[in-house]
Structure 1
Amino acid sequence: MKLYEELADWWPLVSPPSDYAEEAAEYIRLLRAAASGPLKEVLELGSGGGNNASHLKRELSLTLVEPSERMLQVSRALNPECVHLPGDMRTVRLGRVFDAVFVHDAVDYMITEADLRAALETVATHLRPGGVALVAPDATLESFEPGTILEGGDEPAAPDGRARSLRYIEWTLPLEPGATFVDVHYALLLRERDGSVRAEHDAHRNGVFPRATWLRLSDEVGLDARFEPRILGGEEYDTLLAVKRR
């Protein structure tokens, strides 16, 4: 996927860290409400460019795991005080446990039940007994809606007034009957500092599963799970909260 590889250095304009302050505060609230015992050492799986971590690190000690080395470079620049490790959320094993495990919308790239179960097993494996997991998909089957988003950003201008800019359309197609994933297309316009503009297309597939599937798979890997709403911009999103069985 171009967004996480050759276009990774544009990520702060695709998704500015400042946009995540409200979101990170909501995750802290949900984690603290569900936690029993200490809540200090936290693992984030699929940490991407580190936007959530840039806010969460003020209250938590974070270990960030991400499969794309290019995105790890972006996150290291933003969060030099955090531990950064390469790894796939389906298979990574760090040999230690944490007070909490956080998975943001990178979980959307689990497009089969086997993928999702593997990711949840990784979550459970890295939790201490009684530790809490928070998984924040963009949507479950019950809350999924197709649609189009127009976003973008501009970097601060250099002394000569030049700056890079980016605008993109994110187009989420309708879910096909019986499918466990949906196609999402990105059309991006990238303006370089010299004023030249080029277009890029990137195609992703995002998993979409019923709440019942999430809960069943969580139970299978040793997590007592429930769904709670997270409130962002006045809208509710499904959030999986789970506790590792003692």
Structure 2
Amino acid sequence: MYSDFKIISTYYDTLYVNDREYGAEAGRVKDLLTRHGAPPRADLLVLACGTGGHIPYFRDEYTVSGLDLSEDMLDLARKKFPEVGFHLGDMINFELETDFDAVVCLYGSIGFVKTVENLRAAMNRIASHLRPGGLALITPWSTAEDFRDLIVVDAADRPDLKIARMEHVRLKEPNMVEVTFHHLLGNNNDVTYHKQSMEIGLFSREEYAAAMIDAGLNVVEVYTGKDVRGGAYIGKRVAGQVRKQ
């Protein structure tokens, strides 16, 4: 499914990554991590890092790494941030040699695991890569309680690339959302059309919290501020707690 980003990756930053949204989200994430005990210069892993949109806001304060399942997205991230370690891997079953003080999954990307079973598997992998006292911070794409069908309209206007974006977001089945992208791309004095659909898992608040607890993490905060897209679930690995494999 992540290979679906092959085309979108070529203009992802232009359309989606902006200081106003990413900067606010990352700033609050740093505050939350500090509040719950993340040390200075913490080792931080960003899951589903994509093209590295959040990396600039973390790399000055943390030793940051990224993981994504799209090689196309990672290729762009590596070009932008050659000093950062990026890993090709799946949130559901990744295995890295390094443990971390914090693992974050932002911008609702956790929804790409699609099923509750995969959500639990991903949380187990996160917990298994945390040091004692380490933190997991997950922002839901939406929750089953909060979701509503909608149409998103946006545009980007740059000298080298112009984009008109419309996305149809609808409930496909009780625990699954379908997002259909309609993108008009204008460059080199030509206009092309790209249409694509993706499925995103829709989990309840209880399912998010239960997945953390079952992975051996204490849920220390459920943040609901508007500066973090969808809010955040924060879990902490207790010192001496045996990690699930």
Query: Does 1:4 pair with 2:1?
Result: no
Counterpart in 2 of 1:172? 169
Q: In structure 2, what is the equivalent of residue 184 of structure 1? A: 179
User: Aligned-residue CA RMSD in angstroms?
Assistant: 1.9
1:119 aligns to what SS in structure 2? Answer: helix
Q: Does 1:103 align with 2:105?
A: yes
Secondary structure of the residue that 1:237 maps to in structure 2? coil
In structure 1, the partner of 2:31 is: 29
How many residues align? The count is 235
1:231 maps to which residue?
226
> 1:3–1:11: 8 Å Cα contact kept in structure 2?
no
1:80-229 matches, within 5 Å, as 80-104=82-106, 105-155=108-158, 157=159, 163-174=160-171, 176=173, 179-192=174-187, 194-225=188-219, 226-229=221-224
1:38 CA drift (Å) = 4.8
Identical counterparts, % of pairs: 25
Partner-residue secondary structure (3-state), 2:7: coil
CA contact (8 A) 2:176 2:200 kept: yes
Q: CA deviation at 1:120?
A: 0.5
CA contact (8 A) 1:39 1:100 kept: no
| Distance in 2 (alpha carbons) for counterparts of 1:203 and 1:120 | 26
Q: Partners in 2 of 1:13 and 1:3 — Cα distance?
A: 18
Runs of 4+ that moved beyond 6 A: none
Task: After superposition, give the CA deviation of every residue in 1:9-33 in whole Å (9 maximum; x if it has no partner).
Answer: 1111221343411111111111111
Change (3 A) 1:214 1:7: closer
The aligned counterpart of 1:65 is 67
Is there any run of 5+ residues in structure 2 with no aligned partner, and where?
240-245
Whichever residue aligns with residue 42 of structure 1, its letter is: L
Counterparts of 2:28 and 2:92, CA distance in 1:
25
TM-score using structure 1 length: 0.89
Show the counterpart of 1:160. none
CA distance in 1, matches of 2:229, 2:185: 32
Structure 1, gaps ≥5 residues long? 158-162
Pick the aligned partner of 2:233 from 206, 227, 240.
240
Q: In the TM superposition, what is the alpha-carbon distance from 1:242 to its structure 2 partner?
A: 0.5
- Once residues 74 and 138 of structure 2 are traced to their aligned partners in structure 1, the CA distance between those partners, rounded to angstroms, is 20
Instruction: Give, in whole Å, the separation in 1 of the partners of 2:41 and 2:224.
Output: 21
**Post-superposition shift, 1:109?**
0.7
Distance 1:76 1:216, change over 3 A: same
Does the residue aligned with 1:230 lie in a helix, a strand or coil? coil
| TM-score w.r.t. length of structure 2 | 0.89
Distance in 1 separating the partners of 2:121 and 2:229 = 27
Partner AA of 2:197 in structure 1: A
CA distance in 2, matches of 1:217, 1:85: 24
